[in-house]
A and B are shown apart, each in its own frame.
Chain A
Amino acid sequence: MTVERSTMDTDIVCVGFGPAVGGFLTTLSRAMVDADGNTLLESRVMPGLPLQVLCYERSDDISFGVSGVVSKARSLRATFSAEQLAEIPMTSPVTREEVLYLQDPLGASRRSRGVRALDALVNTFKGVLPWSDHAVALPWIPPFLQKHDGMVFSIGQLNQWVGSQLMGSGLVQVWPGMPVSAPLFDGDTVIGVRLVDQGVDTAGTPGSAYMPGMDVHAALTVVGDGPVGPVGQQLNRRFGFPAGHHQRDWAIGMKAVVELAPDCDLETGTVLHTFGYPEPEIFGFLYVHPDRMASVGIFIPSWFDNPARTAYRYLQHWMTHPRLWKHLKGSTMRSWGAKTLQESGRRGEPVLVGDGFARIGEGSGSTNVLTGSGVDEAWATGVQLAEAVIELAKAGKPFTKENLDATYVTRRRNSWVEKEAKVAEKARDGFNTGFLRGLVGMGITGLTRGLLNLRGASKRPHERIPSIEQYFGDRISVADIREIRWQCQASGTPLHDALMDRSGWPKIELDGTLLVSHQDALLMGGKVQAAGGFADHVTFLDTATCRGCAEQICVDGCSGQAIMPGADGVPQFDREKCIHCGVCLWNCSKPHVTDAERSNVGFDAGSGGLHSPIN
């Protein structure tokens, strides 16, 4: 029996519901009708009615987003009043800010000569520096990093609040649990999107309850599906990047929301940023929400070259650093999650508009990699696109590349988002050649407002990743590595724990509340779920390449332990554990067979994931 694919016509379809689309829909919906409910922007598919605007979100609820957020929130404040923003649970103004350089109390960290020199310098002057518990607070926070007057909030709660305002208006519809699999093309015009097929097995083969994903035709497709969104990725592949642009720099952010112990003395609104530990390249954050809740987490960048990098184990080592543990001891994990960050910033900006589509938010390269700010910028790009759409709709002009360029792109180019992104564009280039050089480079860029930058040729992630023998060779003999490989292969476990254990990292003593096993984090913190009837969204493209891959860093890097070693040499994917962080998309040591900018892992639209609303 063949089941026909259904189609639906609408005016505007949005892909993904995060801050960018939130800003877009909020701004647009306010202009669609007047105070008396009369239509101001008329629908073309349903004449007489206001614009028909749909948004499809992959996750099972609009509140299941991930990010630890401290933000100047300039764009949010332009949209909402202070009273409105104060309604959002877990929100607090920033009250105290500190940047900490964490030293290594265990001697397990891999510190370059430069970092060791820095450590020696700190040790020499620790009597006069604000030093305690193997950490020194920077006496002065460079202005470009400051978040004074900013806000701490939960992205899940922000999304939920914005979504409920939107849906309460009755003017736009935000549908969770509906992954979008692909853009639809007519020539080079995007004419809408296709939703994923349902009622299929993990290989995508239709079963008895097969329902082909619907084709939703729209005059404008708004792509805000984030850094690893499948629609954005497909547009990147189809249209390429503007000259000099690429997306080669990434990071995985992994976090927990914890309930601090009753005797914890951290004040609500405290913001701590760290660098230097567990490895110098790993950055950390701790933001204190009201009611003794805190967001804590780390970022592992793609230029941290460990071929067995594992965010979860590093997160635990970071939390147990004495300077942080004194605050975190006795805390309980309430939530946990991870997400990919597109760290190329403006240089990762794709083709922003084309006939029938526009891109906003992180996937459109809006994140500022110097200030470490993304939500504010994403929201702003959504607002800019909405203003452009309002202008075009009022003028009765179609959503062509030319018109979108003249309205949306022009607005974006003239905005603070663009000005600050330009300053930041080369801020991280130094990290391509080393951690300290990267740090100095960021400082130079920030302090000269982008006039001076340290250079460093960019590399694709797969070009950076050394072999396990190269990376661990100074600590573990080749014979021992071979032995570890053999043991892990026999037990079907990833290499990272064994390699870390052997190279000096102590085992984490689980306390059952904050320090829990990775699987417990999935269940206790992430509430990870996946309904049946959907295909696997992570695929291993050229399996022969996987069989010959000695690192299989996809396994070590998988945030949910959803990718595990496979008996036939090809990693196995278990979609019931996937949290859709997208790290596998870039965390691969092998290039795609025909496209060197891609890796050998496919990351498509999928259903399920985290069920945690406070990340």
Chain B
Amino acid sequence: MSTGFHVVVCGSLVPDLLQTLEPVQGPAGPALKNELMLPSVLDPWAAHALFEAAHVAATVPGSKVWLVSLGPKAKLQQLMMSIAPKVPFELVAIDASASGFTDPVEVAAALAGAIEKIPTLDRSRLLLFGGCASASRDAGVTVALVGERLGITDQFLAADELTVSAEGTLTILERVEGGKYLVSEVSGPPCAIAWATGNLPEPPNNPQVGMLNMRTMMPALQKAAAVQLASPGTTFHSVELPKQERRTRIVKDVPIDEMAREIADWIKG
């Protein structure tokens, strides 16, 4: 490959995974309680996609990575300070709600629209990356919808590994039933890959990478277009925390042998 890939990663912000979440009914439908106060992280699967993108870009010369991110501008800006030092990318920001209750069709339209406007993007070299689901909407459809809008008919879901041969053939491992991988080969770009966790570690924070990313990040945030994500015709009747409180029996101060017998009987029973 002499020209390299143009890797576009779709990844937005979600509440830091350990936070306690509670739904509330807002004026515009369901929302999270204190949503703006919750700390955000880059959607974990999308973050893996970004690391994989950087890995591809580092191994295939001439490649370039964009991160297309949708979220409230102020929160995106704060989030980018923790993402920017990880890997080199150019930010494309869309100022919109990052709520999980937005509709993936609307979100995909906004993302695809932003991708189409990237001036230097060569769609014939495009690898569209994203997470296999978000930790907010949790549907696993957005990358496919964006891919369709961009006319990409080679798509992969829940990928853990991508290898590029010297001839430019892409081999992709997707998670399928039974704890196995489905192995596919695609002759070349464009293709869409929605990533599972992959196998790459989270890159360390490199301040130089951060500084480099900053040069395009602030202008991108400044010109981020505001998008209203309407969801016509959708009515949420209720959003509730599941009530699955169990009556827990605590077994303590009992000899190990006795506990072990109880567990073994339970497993066998």
Considering the chains assembled together, what is the distance between the CA atoms of A157 and B37 in angstroms?
Answer: 8
Q: Determine how close the nearest CB of chain B comes to the CB of A33; give it in whole angstroms.
A: 14
Q: Determine how close the nearest CB of chain B comes to the CB of A428; give it in whole angstroms.
A: 35
Chain A, residues 527-541, CB within 8 Å of chain B (1/0): the string is: 101010100000000
Q: Evaluate contact between B37 and A613: CB separation under 8 angstroms.
A: yes
Q: Evaluate contact between A613 and B18: CB separation under 8 angstroms.
A: no
Q: Which residues of A contact B34 (CB under 8 A)?
A: 614
Q: Which residues of B contact A198 (CB under 8 A)?
A: 204-205
Interface: B139 (CB within 8 A): no
Q: Which residues of B contact A456 (CB under 8 A)?
A: none
Considering the chains assembled together, what is the distance between the CA atoms of A175 and B85 in angstroms?
Answer: 9
Interface: A603 (CB within 8 A): no
Interface: B256 (CB within 8 A): no
* B interface bracket (residues with beta carbon within 8 Å of A): 20 to 34
Chain B, residues 213-225, CB within 8 Å of chain A (1/0): the string is: 0100010001000
Identify the stretch in B2-10, B73-81, B129-137, B166-174 within 8 Å (CB) of chain A at 4 or more residues. Answer: B73-81
Considering the chains assembled together, what is the distance between the CA atoms of A277 and B155 in angstroms?
Answer: 64
Q: Which residues of A contact B78 (CB under 8 A)?
A: 61-63, 160, 163-164, 167
Considering the chains assembled together, what is the distance between the CA atoms of A112 and B223 in angstroms?
Answer: 66
Q: Closest chain A residue to B84 by CB distance?
A: A175
Q: Evaluate contact between B18 and A533: CB separation under 8 angstroms.
A: no
Q: Evaluate contact between B74 and A177: CB separation under 8 angstroms.
A: no
Interface: B82 (CB within 8 A): yes
Given A163-B78, A170-B218, A173-B81, decide whether A199 and B36 contact each other with a Cβ distance below 8 A: no
Q: Evaluate contact between B19 and A178: CB separation under 8 angstroms.
A: no
Q: Determine how close the nearest CB of chain B comes to the CB of A68; give it in whole angstroms.
A: 16
Given A61-B82, A173-B214, decide whether A613 and B38 contact each other with a Cβ distance below 8 A: yes
Q: Evaluate contact between B39 and A178: CB separation under 8 angstroms.
A: no
Q: Evaluate contact between B74 and A211: CB separation under 8 angstroms.
A: no
Q: Closest chain B residue to A89 by CB distance?
A: B37
Interface: B62 (CB within 8 A): no
Interface: A484 (CB within 8 A): no
Q: Evaluate contact between A61 and B39: CB separation under 8 angstroms.
A: yes
Q: Evaluate contact between A176 and B18: CB separation under 8 angstroms.
A: no
Given A523-B18, A529-B18, A611-B18, decide whether A177 and B38 contact each other with a Cβ distance below 8 A: no
Q: Determine how close the nearest CB of chain B comes to the CB of A207; give it in whole angstroms.
A: 10
Q: Which B residues, 1 to 43, have Cβ-Cβ distances below 8 Å to chain A?
A: 16, 18-20, 34, 36-39
Given A523-B18, A613-B39, decide whether A167 and B77 contact each other with a Cβ distance below 8 A: yes
Q: Evaluate contact between A164 and B204: CB separation under 8 angstroms.
A: no
Interface: B71 (CB within 8 A): no
Q: Determine how close the nearest CB of chain A comes to the CB of B72; give it in whole angstroms.
A: 11
Which of B85, B204, B210 contacts A533 (CB under 8 A)? B204
Give the residue among A163, A178, A209, A614 with the most B Cβ atoms within 10 A.
Answer: A178
Q: Which residues of A contact B218 (CB under 8 A)?
A: 170
Given A209-B204, A527-B18, A613-B37, decide whether A168 and B85 contact each other with a Cβ distance below 8 A: no
Considering the chains assembled together, what is the distance between the CA atoms of A128 and B205 in angstroms?
Answer: 63
Q: Evaluate contact between A527 and B16: CB separation under 8 angstroms.
A: yes
Q: Evaluate contact between B37 and A8: CB separation under 8 angstroms.
A: no
Q: Determine how close the nearest CB of chain B comes to the CB of A606; give it in whole angstroms.
A: 14
Which of B16, B19, B77, B206 contacts A164 (CB under 8 A)? B77
Q: Evaluate contact between A211 and B204: CB separation under 8 angstroms.
A: yes
Q: Which residues of B contact A436 (CB under 8 A)?
A: none
Which of B36, B202, B207 contacts A195 (CB under 8 A)? B207
Q: Which residues of B contact A6 (CB under 8 A)?
A: 208
Considering the chains assembled together, what is the distance between the CA atoms of A62 and B208 in angstroms?
Answer: 20
Q: Closest chain A residue to B218 by CB distance?
A: A170
Given A61-B39, A167-B77, A170-B218, decide whether A176 and B16 contact each other with a Cβ distance below 8 A: no
Chain B, residues 76-120, CB within 8 Å of chain A (1/0): the string is: 011001100100000000000000000000000000000000000
Which of B16, B203, B205 contacts A178 (CB under 8 A)? B205
New contact pairs (14) apart from A214-B206, A533-B201, CB-CB < 8 Å? A8-B211, A89-B36, A89-B37, A164-B74, A167-B78, A167-B81, A175-B210, A176-B81, A177-B205, A198-B205, A209-B203, A214-B207, A533-B204, A614-B37
B residues apposed to A, CB below 8 Å: 16, 18-20, 34, 36-39, 74, 77-78, 81-82, 85, 201-208, 210-211, 214, 218, 222
Nearest 3 pairs of A and B residues by beta carbon? A198-B204, A527-B18, A170-B218
